[in-house]
Structure 1
Amino acid sequence: MEIRTAVSPRDIKAYTTERMREEFLIQDLLLPGKIKMVYSHVDRIIAGGARPAEPIALQAGKEIGADFFLQRREMGIVNIGPAGTVMVDGTEYRLEKSDGLYVSMGSKDLVFSSDDPKNPAKFYFNSCPAHAAFPTKKILKKDIKGNHLGSIQQSNERTIYKYIDPQAGAKSCQLVMGMTVLEPGNMWNSMPCHTHDRRMEVYFYFDLPENAVVFHLMGEPAETRHIVMRNEEAVISPSWSIHSGVGTASYTFIWGMCGENQNFDDMDHVPMAILK
């Protein structure tokens, strides 16, 4: 498990491209036969991925400081690849592509596996601290009523699917998680942009063509920076930072948030005039 410490917005004014990528970019999350995780000190979120050729059990390390991984945590999982199964305390949850799973705090044994070991599932997950337990729940994308937003004229026509949310999808203690799907020919996300000092966020970009990139924008509104991202990469967004991006092709991304509240619409909108 990699550790990423919290960063001041004053510090990144002097960061090189390499340093920006070291602090915020998460690569190689879906390595065959492995579970990889990055632990951020920003609201203690963990972003991780599992691509199991053979069943792989999730283990708690020293970084967690608990008897088992979800002793004081909850987790949201989305499968972005071929079908696979997540076993939670002996109960199997089979996930097709784009299906999700909320896993309750207190769940002791969690094992990832694939239907076809030669074509493994791709499980992306977020985990954050929790202080109350909510039921483990399978989330089928086809059952989620998407929120269609944007327009082709602004190159941001998209549909938002809320997987873990107090008003839609699975209920949780702290974690809010969902997926945004851009329509073909659309490139922008989260623009006009916003911040939310009450929550941090992680974006995970996927379904991006091999030779395409996303220019992910971050930083304070008047002091922005960018990180060039490729398929199946994630980026940490501290609460003081905007989080927006434009691709050279359309794409999909998973967003995960934790912090003071679970209100999806609690945003501090940034006027376009002050962006720099």
Structure 2
Amino acid sequence: MEIRNASNSKDVKFYTTDRLREEFLITNLFTKDNIRMVYSHIDRIITAGLMPVLQELKLEAGKELAADFFLQRREMGCINIGGKGIITVDGTEYVMEPRDGIYIGMGNKEVTFKSVNPDEPAKFYMSSCPAHKSYPIVKIDISKAKKVPCGSVEDCNKRVINQYIHPEVMQSCQLSMGLTQLEPGSNWNTMPSHTHDRRMEVYLYLDMDEDNVVFHMMGEPSETRHIVMHNEEAVISPSWSIHSGVGTKAYSFIWAMCGENQEFDDMDHIQTKDLR
């Protein structure tokens, strides 16, 4: 497990490109038969990529959590962005088709991951944050997610937000998670931009080929920076930072949030004319 410390907005103004990427970008999330975890001290969120091919992978707490098992004091959400897989929670199997999601609450002890076909391995993208109460396991396929159409063709940001872990879909302690899909011809997300001091966010960009990228915008509204993102890379967004992106082609992204509340509209909007 890699540990990332929180970054002060006053310091980030002076970061080089390499330093920005070192602090906020998460690469190489999906490698064969491996669990890649990054623990951020920003709201103590854990971002992970699990890609079982020939082996079954087991979620372990590790010394970093000082816990008997991973979900002893945590909750988690997971969306499968690869081939068909199976998640087993304390002996109960959950078949995970591509784009299926699942919420697993605090107190579940043994969680394992495997692929059905090694030639088309599952890719499980996981977000986890501290929890104070145990809620039931909920399997959420993309058809059960709440659909929120947004944007327009004229503004190059026509998209659908699929809310998987969200108060209007199911209960969790503080974790929210979903998948936003841009329509062909659109390339902007979350613009006009906003911040939300009550919670942080992590984006995973996906559905891009190797010739396309997303320019992820971050930083304070008056001190914006960008990170060039490639397919299946994630980026940590502190609560003081904007989190917009523009791609060279349409793409999708998974968002995960944790913090003080789960109100989707609890944000501080920024007019585009005020960005710098």
Deviation at 1:246, TM superposition (A): 0.2
CA distance in 2, matches of 1:173, 1:84: 26
1:78-104 deviation line (CA, Å, top 9, x unaligned): 000110000000000011111000001
Q: Secondary structure at the match of 1:43?
A: coil
Q: Is it true that 1:18 corresponds to 2:15 in the alignment?
A: no
Deviation at 1:274, TM superposition (A): 1.1
- Identity percentage over the alignment? 60
CA distance in 1, matches of 2:257, 2:144: 22
1:198-254 deviation line (CA, Å, top 9, x unaligned): 000000000011110000000000000000000000000000000000000110000
CA contact (8 A) 1:104 1:135 kept: yes
CA distance in 2, matches of 1:108, 1:144: 26
1:161-191 deviation line (CA, Å, top 9, x unaligned): 10001112x3100100001000011100000
Q: Which runs of 5+ in 1 are unaligned?
A: none
CA contact (8 A) 2:146 2:164 kept: no
The equivalent residue for 1:30 is: 30
Runs of 4+ displaced beyond 2 Å: none
Q: Secondary structure at the match of 2:23?
A: helix
CA contact (8 A) 1:220 1:242 kept: yes
CA distance in 2, matches of 1:175, 1:226: 26
1:45-67 deviation line (CA, Å, top 9, x unaligned): 00001000121111111111111
CA distance in 1, matches of 2:200, 2:249: 26
Letter in 2 for 1:210: E
Letter in 2 for 1:161: N
Correspondence 1:54-73 to 2 at 5 A = 54-73=55-74
CA distance in 1, matches of 2:112, 2:140: 18
The equivalent residue for 1:141 is: 142
The equivalent residue for 2:199 is: 199
Q: Secondary structure at the match of 1:125?
A: strand
Letter in 1 for 2:105: S
Q: Which runs of 5+ in 2 are unaligned?
A: none
Deviation at 1:18, TM superposition (A): 0.2
CA distance in 2, matches of 1:24, 1:110: 27
Deviation at 1:272, TM superposition (A): 1.3
Q: Secondary structure at the match of 1:38?
A: strand
CA distance in 1, matches of 2:199, 2:13: 22
CA RMSD for the aligned pairs? 0.7
CA distance in 1, matches of 2:149, 2:195: 21
The equivalent residue for 1:174 is: 174
Q: Secondary structure at the match of 1:10?
A: helix
The equivalent residue for 1:244 is: 244
TM-score, scaled relative to structure 2 = 0.99
Q: Secondary structure at the match of 2:63?
A: coil
